[in-house]
Each structure stands twice: as structure tokens, then as C-alpha cells.
Structure 1
Amino acid sequence: MERSALDRALLTDRLDWNLLRTFLTIVHERSLSRAAVRLHITQPAVSLALRRLEEHLGHTLIERRGSNFRLTRAGEEVLRIATDVYGSVARLGAELAEQQDEVSGLLRLLTVSRIHSGVYDECLAAFHRQHPRVTLQVDVMRSTEIADALAQKAGGVGLSLYRQPGRQSGDGLEHMLFLRQRYAIFCGRHHRLFGRTGLAIADLLAEHFVSFSSDQLGDVLAPLAVFRDQHGFSGQIVATSPSLDEIRRLVFAGYGIGCLPEHIVADDVAQQRLWRLPPEEGVADIDMYLLWNPERRQTPAEAAFIEHFRHYVARYSLMERLGESVNAPLAALRAPTA
């Protein structure tokens, strides 16, 4: 089908726009079952939505044979059109709310949970002082979901872990390094290794592990999985979660040892809820980024936030950004002027 014909088919008033959203989710998850989980609906409902879209367009969009998943030529074209359409719809409300005289409207910020940084807190405070008419909506999501939403132009700005920055990732996102978090191995008060000194990595290899859902090869926390593989850890992964707070809770409860950011659990170590394990230098540095899609037309609120964040945060070193608080007079001196 020619591009113009597909455009006409997709723009007809008989098309249910939710079918495009379901199709986008199927493509990005590369699985009907995972798309169903992402959309909080049943797998038969996802299959029905795909079939309805294909029937409406008169073309097969996805070919599936066993575990193989491939877009047809028509599917690739629908993906291109649907990405543009969905991105435009997602920012429609924000653009209608903007004022001409000053920066205002909705700023939707997609972020991972538990960003532990006094610099970030002061950055938000300074932005609000400069742009009090901007309404902030903070949506907490998983890193992969944030990258997908930005790639689909369904969100303007994100704070997230991000795999392979600076390489040809295919999503076209721009990024700025925000935090560099050192992950180390810990056990909890209820674990048999708690309080023991003189341990070596060899003493940990058979221990059960508590793992992040994204701690696997190819995902954002892949360095943690690589570390375990390289050192020959043989214990079972007995608990997983996408939530840092839940991983911390499970490690404390003694389910197994696990990797956590040093600066976030420093108080737990001081209060003897958690115990630091080898290696002394930690496991890996995991970076967090400010992300945005340069191909998406930013709203004034989004553009103002990106500009403000980049200039404000750049005034602090990576180590300073991990601190719980920022010296108020120093923050005032370093803050960009309006």
C-alpha cells in the first residue's frame, strides 16, 4: 500500500485511536502477553485489537511464527504514522493550556522512583520560583517505559536510567548525564552474613540473590548481571521487583543479598539495618540521565524545564549531586538568573 493510502486509511473517522496505542505497545514490547500486562488488559483483548486494526486497514501488520516477531511493510508504515499521531495527541492538552505572555501550561515529567539528590530538589524549587504558572505532573515509571514514551513522543521530559547512551540506540533521544550511582552488594540484618568482617567475593558466590527486574542482559541494570556472571555467582534469584524500595525491603528481610545504590542506603548501613559486602570498590556505576526527544516539538514549559535543568545541574559536580542537601547560600550563588 502506498504511504498516502495508509495515511488516508488511518485518518478516517471510523478508526478507534485506542487501536493505534495498542499496536504501538505490541511493537515496543514485541509480545502480545507483555503488551497486555503493560496496558492492564487481557491478552485476548490485545489480540482482538490487533485484528480489528488489520481488518480496518486491509493489511496484515505483524507476522508471528513461534517466538519470531516481524513487522510487515504495512506494519512499519503504520508504526511511523501511529508514532507521530500518538505524540501529537499526547501533547494536545498541554499546548492548549499555554499562555502567550509567559511560560505556563502543563509540564509532564516522567521519572523513576527514589531520586536522592539535594541538587535536584533545589533545581525544582528554583524552576517553580521562575515559572510559577507551570503546572507540574510527575509520573513515576520504569526506565524502559520512560524511554518508550519519549521515543513515541508521548512525553516531553524524563529522568531515567538509560542503556547505551551515546550509541546508535535507534530511539533518537537526547540526553544529559545527571547522576552517577555506585551500586554495591548488601545483606540485611536477618541474613547469616550480617556483621561478618573479612569476607571475600568467594564467600558470596553461593548466596541467593534479590534482583531488580531490569537487572538482566540488555536492560538498564545489565552491569549488575554482567558482574554476577563474570564472578561466577551460582545462587538462585529468589525475589525480584522493579522497585528500589522493595528490593531494599527484601534484602533487609534476609531473602538474599542484593545490589543497591550506596548513597541511598547509607542511613540503613549507619542504623545497622543493612551490611556492606565485598567488593570494597562496589559492583558498577549506573548513570541516570535527563532525556528528551528532539524530534518532538517541545511545549514552552518543557523547553523551559530542559534549559533550566541543564544549566542548574551543570553547576555541581557528580559527587555534589548525590548529596542529601545543598548549602543554601551556595545554591543561590550557583542558580541561573531568571
Structure 2
Amino acid sequence: MPGIERRSFDWNLLHTFAAIVEEKSITGAAERLLLRQPSVSNALKRLEDQLGCQLIDRSRGRFEATEQGLALYRECREVCGTIGRIDTVLKDSGSQLSGHLHLWMASHVVFPPLDETLSDFAHRHPKVTYEIDVATSSTVVQTVLAQQASFGICLVNEKHPRLDYRHLYREHFGFFCGPRHHLFGKKDISLADLRNEAFVSFSTDQLNGALSSVAVLRAQERLKGKVVATSPHLEEVRRLIVNGLGIGPLPIHVVERDLRDGLMWRLPPYEAPPAIDIFLVTNPRMSPSRAERLFLSDLLGRLDDAPLGYFVYPEAAVE
């Protein structure tokens, strides 16, 4: 591969190439970038010519990144992420705090100290703007790894060696059903009574997923009812349960109001429910903006009030 002449290199080609890989097609990349398809095809050809190697295998109806293409994609995600943050860094350099906070988090995140931090921070720094993206935990981690976000809040199944992790809280999951379910309102039931019930759950409810502790409990107790619906988002799993499609897991502290309002009924196990840890994920290779640094400082400062160094929900589940 020949060396790149930095003065003549068009860095926009990397942005286009990243879109091609992520969309898995020239057409999809063109639609995403609001460009014509020939322009995207030409950009790919120019990049391959400048680098002297094939980046996308287009032979015999295939369309996938080559080994060199994947290597370039991993690097250009970080480059594009850094370039995309330049405007935020410049806007954040004034005497009065401004800038833009972009939070990435899993849909499971219901964390009162985060809400308190957002409220206080917005009151003290009215010029700061906010954006929140909800994604799967794996996507949150990959976004932080690619330096497209300074931090994320999510479930962590396996820690990446290039990222830093701070334990924020531990939440406990219970099994629930909705008002139209035949077990709603029944008290004298056991885990054995759930073994053949239709189940709804999160997409990560697998032995190697972020909700592995829930999957382990289902396996141990032989809860082998048909999984009739899944979603990566807490709100949609809740919808499925409330509307009677099946029983399913949800964080206990999240559904307290639903229990009071008669929209849900808790099922066994009542003792030692599955625990899931939620982490703040940061990339030590990134330089956060001043607004991001102050926001994180405020958020982490609230952990000083947690006796274990992290919060536990519900509080009755403190071990």
C-alpha cells in the first residue's frame, strides 16, 4: 500500500467509506449522505486508487469489506468521530459554559442521580444543549470506542481493554405479567408455575448477553415456555408485558408505579432476584469538552452518597 500524501488526501472519502461499510451498499450510503449513487461509487474508487488496495469485495454479487477495508473502517470511525467533535470543542471554549452534551445510553437506564444531574446542570448552564441516543449496550460501547461519544451508560457483559468503566448502579430484575394475564393477582405461585408460560424479553436475554443473569435463572429453573416477542428497548418490553403477550423481566425499581397503578403484577422469584450492573463507559484516548468534564464530575460526585460506591435498586436488595 503506497503512502498517503496528506496535503492532497481528501478526508471526506473516509466519511463516505464509513457510511458504505455501515449501510452495506452504495445505494444505502448515498441515501444516508444525501448524495447521488455515482458520486458515492466514485468516492470509493478514488479511495481505493489512493490507497492502492481493494476495500470492498464486489465480486460475484458480493458486497462486503475486505480485510484491509475492515482495518481501515476501524481507524476511520475514530477519525470521523474526532472530526465530528471539533465544532463542539470550539463552541465550548468561551468564558460562559456552552457546548453540546451528547449522551449515549441503553434503554434500561433509569437512574435518579442522572436525572438530578441533568436538572441541576441545565439550571446552572443554560447555554448547554443536549442530545440523548438510546441504543443497545453493545452499540453504546462501540460508539465510545470509536470516539464518536465521550461517554456512555450501559450494561456491560465483557469489558473492552481500551475503555474505562465506572460502576454506577446495580439493578435487580423481577418477572412480571399484565392485567390480562391469567396469573395476574395470584399470590400462591412458585417458579415452577412459570415453566410453560409464554415469555417476552430483551434481545440480550441470552447466556452470553448483557442480561445473562436473567438467562441463567430461566435456564436453572427450566422456564422453557415459548419466547413470543423480544425487543432491545425497555419501553417496548414493558408494552408487551402490560398487554398480555407473556410474562417477562423488567428492573424492579422501574415498574414501581405500574405495580401501584395495577398495570403489572410481580411474579416469583421474590428472593434474590437477578442483578445487573450498569456502568459509565469512557474512552481514555478522548479529550472531553469542558461541558462534558463538568457534567461527568457532577454525576460521579453523587456516587459519594452511595455506601457501596454505587447505588442499588431497589434499596431493599442491598446485600
Q: TM-score range by the shorter chain?
A: 0.7 to 0.9
Aligned residue identity for 1:301 = A
Q: Corresponding residue for 1:110? A: 104
Residue 12 (str. 1) matches residue 16 (str. 2): no
1:239: how far off? 0.9
Aligned length: 300
Q: Corresponding residue for 1:270? A: 260
Residue 60 (str. 1) matches residue 50 (str. 2): no
Are the aligned partners of 2:172 and 2:314 in contact in 1 as well (CA < 8 Å)?
A: no
Give per-residue Cα distances to partners, 1:81-119, cap 9 Å, x unaligned: 313311212212201212342432112111234643433
Q: Corresponding residue for 1:29? A: none
SS for the counterpart of 2:223 is coil
Q: Corresponding residue for 1:185? A: 175
1-structure distance, mates of 2:248, 2:20: 35
Q: Corresponding residue for 2:61? A: none
Of 189, 207, 216, which aligns to 1:226? Answer: 216
2-structure distance, mates of 1:189, 1:143: 30
Distance verdict in 2 for CA 1:14–1:118, change over 3 Å? closer
Residue 236 (str. 1) matches residue 226 (str. 2): yes
Residue 135 (str. 1) matches residue 147 (str. 2): no
1:313: how far off? 3.0
Aligned residue identity for 1:153 = Q
Q: Corresponding residue for 1:121? A: 115
Distance verdict in 2 for CA 1:13–1:217, change over 3 Å? same
Identity of aligned residues (%): 32
- Judge which range, 218-227 or 292-301, deviates more: 218-227
Distance verdict in 2 for CA 1:310–1:71, change over 3 Å? farther
Distance verdict in 2 for CA 1:157–1:7, change over 3 Å? farther
Of 65, 76, 80, which aligns to 1:82? Answer: 76
1:195: how far off? 1.9
Residue 301 (str. 1) matches residue 291 (str. 2): yes
Q: Corresponding residue for 2:149? A: 155
Q: Corresponding residue for 1:207? A: 197
2-structure distance, mates of 1:147, 1:154: 10
> Taking structure 1 as the reference length, what is the TM-score of the superposition?
0.76
2-structure distance, mates of 1:227, 1:191: 22
SS for the counterpart of 2:254 is coil
- Judge which range, 97-106 or 304-313, deviates more: 97-106
Q: Corresponding residue for 1:287? A: 277
SS for the counterpart of 1:160 is strand
Give per-residue Cα distances to partners, 1:141-177, cap 9 Å, x unaligned: 3322211111110111222222224xxx24x221211
Q: How does 1:235-254 map to 2 (within 5 A)?
A: 235-254=225-244
Are the aligned partners of 1:162 and 1:220 in contact in 2 as well (CA < 8 Å)?
A: yes
SS for the counterpart of 2:95 is coil
Runs of 5+ in structure 2 lacking a partner? 59-63
Aligned Cα root-mean-square deviation (Å) = 3.4
Of 163, 185, 188, which aligns to 1:198? Answer: 188
Runs of 5+ in structure 1 lacking a partner? 27-31, 325-338
2-structure distance, mates of 1:239, 1:187: 14
1-structure distance, mates of 2:207, 2:41: 31
SS for the counterpart of 1:11 is coil
Give per-residue Cα distances to partners, 1:246-268, cap 9 Å, x unaligned: 21121122111100111111222
Aligned residue identity for 2:44 = R
